[in-house]
């Protein structure tokens, strides 16, 4: 056990967050995301039984967001004509605002298939049990400044 480390973060996920460098990206994916096929060139970390919001909050306690890009956080856009709503996004924006002074302005959206393409070059993909639709989120790592 370690002090001040969120218990939801497994040793494998902590190691991966530490290994990541500036501009590396990590996807925290919902339960419908094709983690294994999209993540063939990434580390796929299983966090079944956990939702995205609690993992996002825990990760952002340790993970600096990139300040050199306008939108270091990206969500998968809802497909045109899809009646699904993504109310979980408000929760994500609130969590991001706790850890980044840019607040919700640090959060962008990427078209669904472009999100898949971007995710193929992610350093890691975290597979969750999140059941909300369009609940995938991609974070770009920044630098720790003392």
- Domain annotation for the chain: domains and CATH numbers: 22-140 (3.40.1650.10)
Q: Known catalytic residue: 57? A: no
The residue from 30, 57, 66, 100 that is catalytic is 66
State the pTM of this model.
0.96
State both tokens at 136. Answer: 């995938």
For residues 63-95, b (16+ Cβ closer than 10 Å) or e, as one string?
A: bbbbeeeebbbbbbbbeeeeeeebebbebbbeb
Q: Known catalytic residue: 66? A: yes
65 close to 114: Cβ distance less than 8 angstroms: no
| Residue-level pLDDT, tens digit, the chain, 146 residues | 789 999 999 999 999 999 999 999 999 999 999 999 999 999 999 999 999 999 999 999 999 999 999 999 999 999 998 888 878 999 999 999 999 999 999 999 999 999 999 999 999 999 999 999 999 999 999 999 87
The residue from 22, 68, 82, 90 that is catalytic is 22
Q: Known catalytic residue: 22? A: yes
């Amino acid at each position: 056990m370690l002090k001040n480390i969120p218990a939801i973060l497994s040793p494998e996920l902590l190691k991966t967050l530490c290994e990541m460098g500036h501009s590396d990206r990590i996807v925290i994916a919902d339960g419908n995301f094709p983690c294994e096929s999209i993540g063939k060139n990434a580390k796929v970390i299983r966090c079944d039984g956990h939702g995205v919001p609690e993992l996002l909050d825990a990760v952002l306690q340790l993970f600096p967001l990139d300040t050199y890009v306008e939108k270091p956080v990206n969500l998968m856009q809802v497909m045109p004509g899809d009646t699904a709503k993504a109310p979980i996004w408000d929760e994500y924006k609130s969590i991001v605002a706790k850890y980044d002074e840019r607040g919700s302005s640090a959060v962008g959206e990427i078209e669904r298939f472009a999100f898949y393409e971007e995710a193929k070059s992610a350093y890691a993909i975290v597979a969750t049990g999140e059941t909300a639709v369009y609940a995938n989120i991609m974070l770009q790592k920044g630098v720790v400044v003392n």
